[in-house]
Structure 1
């Protein structure tokens, strides 16, 4: 079939809708952040966000433009195994809250790296912050790619032009809004995302003959017989057990290290509010995530039943393509506005995290005597610089946008998550173990990435390696292993053990768990550490064995 040009034939309505949404977001940003006078205001809104707003903002921040674009392209390649992968993402923020979010919330921290600094010292926190800046840039990169693709489709302009126009408009909007503007906008964007994704999807399903079109997240099941006829292999679990297990360290544990997700917990007005926000987060995210799979399902069915070949270059546009085929163009324009909203919310979270990492976790650590005014100005500059960097990186992007986002999960899991998890729950974790784990596992994760050294990979399966699945299965447990072993050994070398520092760390751990006294046996289990070490060693060995997918 001849290749088609998938874009709006009359972009006027789409432009008007997108301009209106941008005006709305800029106004909300300015109103929300105009009273910010400190870094606490800029990054944590003084912890004054209610559970509904925060839950919707969490879901919106996590959703990303990949929900509209890159994820559906991934479903075209993976089919039903994608469901198992998708489940890992849904677990992220509830696990952050349960495992360490509420504990760190008691510290009033801006980011997880703030905890790393207080727990392990300056050197460890700067190393962790540098890794997290790379994670946030890679995550934001995927959003910028998606924004450029949507502007390309909306306006019929070249990718680079769309990137520059969309990118710098977004960077300005995030910079002036701070966390307060980003949070309020993200809640609004979550509503836009849900409406602009699910309602048009229902119309697509109805046009395809589905009787369950009125609730796409679940009732697409009536199309299963038609899918089996069009593509009998769609529901085959094409990979072995090892592949599915690898999703846990790469994406579930990886998500625990993402700073822009954890920052949302710190904006809550109370610990109770942070926990309540999880309900709204799970509800909003679950409905849209389930609908995303339905959209991918519909995309595969469209390809198989009509004979239309959607090439690799257009795979990211499957949501837009289905709307162009089955819905009026003004509906597609609304979908594009929803996609841009999804990208905006996630970019906001990432740029704010970059700002906090640069200004609070690096510069302020090295120069603690900066005035509040200087810190605030530095924060705005850092946010803007992070946005510019993500735009520049997106000029020559990966083949499809989801790769950079998923790869970031594994890097966060290798360099950040073990430091926080063990730091919260095991008193023996120390700065030597933290530095060795973050540097060692992080470097190994990068080395086995096909983007850096194409010939040094773990599984040998292109998609698995590029998504960071195989690298995460190797590097994440290795990070836990290094952290525990190095900490245990160095704690028993008198020359390396500082008793005053140890007592201070023990007090910190007790305090963030809500205890008023210090019990040496509490959070100090050698047996628990041994079990984690043993499991990690087994997984590392399994990861380097042949994958045979």
Structure 2
């Protein structure tokens, strides 16, 4: 008979979660009460300190999937998932290194702001529309997870929990803006870390692990027992192609996520942004390592301890382990940590949607709009994005992480190439950007298993669902189109007057910190050619049989 996992005393869970909501509303209101402009709404006045920003970055990236869907993937993929984890951890440091500080120096507070200045209005609106879709898909996963948590563990019907708590969440994010979201995210990150690692230590102690006192690393003392019980856990059962496909889908995809890049722009200075990376890497590495340890312990418990978890309950592994091995009040705190993880990511998603609509679309089309009206539109856009994610979550996809990871790939196809190439190659122009974004984005959507299942680019179920196969084809195609179309159109005499090449040169020199202008900088035809050749090879490889 299948086990029904639910707290015996759901009131306990509701009280703990309710207390965290009250805290977040108070912090959000106090933090954002001085916001009088769109910049203050979306970047918190650009005066956030390194430690707070680093914690907020980690919390924004952590998401509810850390508590729920990720551990389910570890159950399914086992040790190969560590490769996915490594790529995810790389994201924000790479954002800072590749383009974050450049865009921060430019004064942009969203990636699409850079696309507008670099490629023009049409390209920026196309990119903004794709990024709104990405942000809604990412937010959708959080809304689904929060509603599932309330339904299965606290006994609240899915739709009831979705609307009541979804609106409460959207309300606190709308009231708090980026300043409130940042301060709350820093608090949420502390809650997430404590409510994940400390209960995991108790679980490990209960099953006899000697390294229980530091779960992120010392779960390794369980390896010999795991080898005896399940030797296949450590097999890299997929093909090299599968592991390579993680790079365009997740690493490059994360570089295009607007809510991650926005965190760089909240820093008080470039030095502060770089310092925040250290704190981000430390806290994220700590909790991500613990997440893998939780998945490891879950596999061990289901293999050796008699714990039975159905496929339908795989997303709840973290909560179930706490229910089995820890007191109920601990599980209630873990649920609060899970909700906090969802809230922190939703904050970033909805603020990104607000910035995209009010700044990158409305202000672009209506540049003379008043500051007061623009700020009001921003609040409305944040709220509307939240309501959209609630409505989409009414009939959600079956697997929590799918919508999130698929969003990574779409960002990598439609947004990341425009920013990366635009920052580092002066010849990139609006024609290449539009071609890359439109064709690449359409290709990614077409070959996914969600829109046209009959023509999916087939790897296997996990590969296609996470967007790995689609991104491995569409991301290099986007890079090729951006470079080749830009190169050709720059050499058509009839178009030369429409391409603001001198303005592009001056912009790139300025964002890299140069005082003088040198035409040869960031203008390598050889480098662009190598990128095209490598991208073409990857795209051809993506079309070949995947195997396992």
Report the counterpart of residue 80 of structure 2 in structure 1. 81
**2:321 and 2:61 mapped to 1: Cα distance?**
24
Report the counterpart of residue 412 of structure 2 in structure 1. 413
Report the counterpart of residue 456 of structure 1 in structure 2. 455
Kept in 2, the 8 Å contact 1:120–1:431? The answer is yes
**1:156 and 1:305 mapped to 2: Cα distance?**
30
Task: Map 1:89-488 onto structure 2 (within 5 A).
Answer: 89-488=88-487
Kept in 1, the 8 Å contact 2:405–2:466? The answer is yes
Kept in 1, the 8 Å contact 2:5–2:153? The answer is no
**1:512 and 1:311 mapped to 2: Cα distance?**
52
Shift of 1:430: 0.3
**1:309 and 1:45 mapped to 2: Cα distance?**
46
Kept in 2, the 8 Å contact 1:154–1:333? The answer is no
**Structure 1 residue runs of 4+, over 3 Å off?**
306-309
Report the counterpart of residue 47 of structure 2 in structure 1. 48
Shift of 1:163: 1.2
Kept in 1, the 8 Å contact 2:105–2:511? The answer is yes
SS state of the match for residue 233, structure 2?
A: coil
Kept in 2, the 8 Å contact 1:151–1:166? The answer is no
**1:358 and 1:538 mapped to 2: Cα distance?**
37
**1:153 and 1:295 mapped to 2: Cα distance?**
20
Kept in 2, the 8 Å contact 1:249–1:476? The answer is yes
Structure 1 residues 352-400: Cα deviation after superposition (integer angstroms, max 9, x where no partner): 0000000100111111111000000000000000000001111111111
| Unmatched 5+ stretches in structure 1 | none
* Higher deviation after alignment, 164-173 or 30-39: 164-173
**1:112 and 1:448 mapped to 2: Cα distance?**
26
* Higher deviation after alignment, 290-299 or 459-468: 459-468
Say if 2:510 is the partner of 1:506. Answer: no
**2:161 and 2:310 mapped to 1: Cα distance?**
21
**1:221 and 1:166 mapped to 2: Cα distance?**
38
**2:311 and 2:159 mapped to 1: Cα distance?**
18
Shift of 1:499: 7.3
Kept in 2, the 8 Å contact 1:64–1:342? The answer is yes
Shift of 1:500: 7.3
Kept in 1, the 8 Å contact 2:429–2:499? The answer is no
How big is the alpha-carbon RMSD for the aligned residues of Structure 1 and Structure 2? 0.9
Shift of 1:547: 0.7
**2:499 and 2:164 mapped to 1: Cα distance?**
54
| Unmatched 5+ stretches in structure 2 | none
SS state of the match for residue 500, structure 2?
A: helix
**1:465 and 1:246 mapped to 2: Cα distance?**
11
* Higher deviation after alignment, 475-484 or 457-466: 457-466
**1:500 and 1:293 mapped to 2: Cα distance?**
49
**1:499 and 1:482 mapped to 2: Cα distance?**
19
Say if 2:64 is the partner of 1:65. Answer: yes
- Number of positions where the alignment pairs a residue of Structure 1 with one of Structure 2: 548
Report the counterpart of residue 528 of structure 2 in structure 1. 529
* Higher deviation after alignment, 228-237 or 92-101: 228-237
Shift of 1:201: 0.3
**1:35 and 1:271 mapped to 2: Cα distance?**
24
**1:349 and 1:523 mapped to 2: Cα distance?**
32
**TM-score (norm. length: structure 2):** 0.99
Kept in 2, the 8 Å contact 1:15–1:154? The answer is no
SS state of the match for residue 80, structure 1?
A: coil
* Cα 1:43/1:336, change in 2 over 3 Å: same
Kept in 2, the 8 Å contact 1:440–1:479? The answer is yes
Kept in 1, the 8 Å contact 2:490–2:499? The answer is no
SS state of the match for residue 97, structure 1?
A: helix
**2:498 and 2:313 mapped to 1: Cα distance?**
60
Kept in 1, the 8 Å contact 2:62–2:345? The answer is yes
**2:455 and 2:135 mapped to 1: Cα distance?**
24
**1:19 and 1:132 mapped to 2: Cα distance?**
32
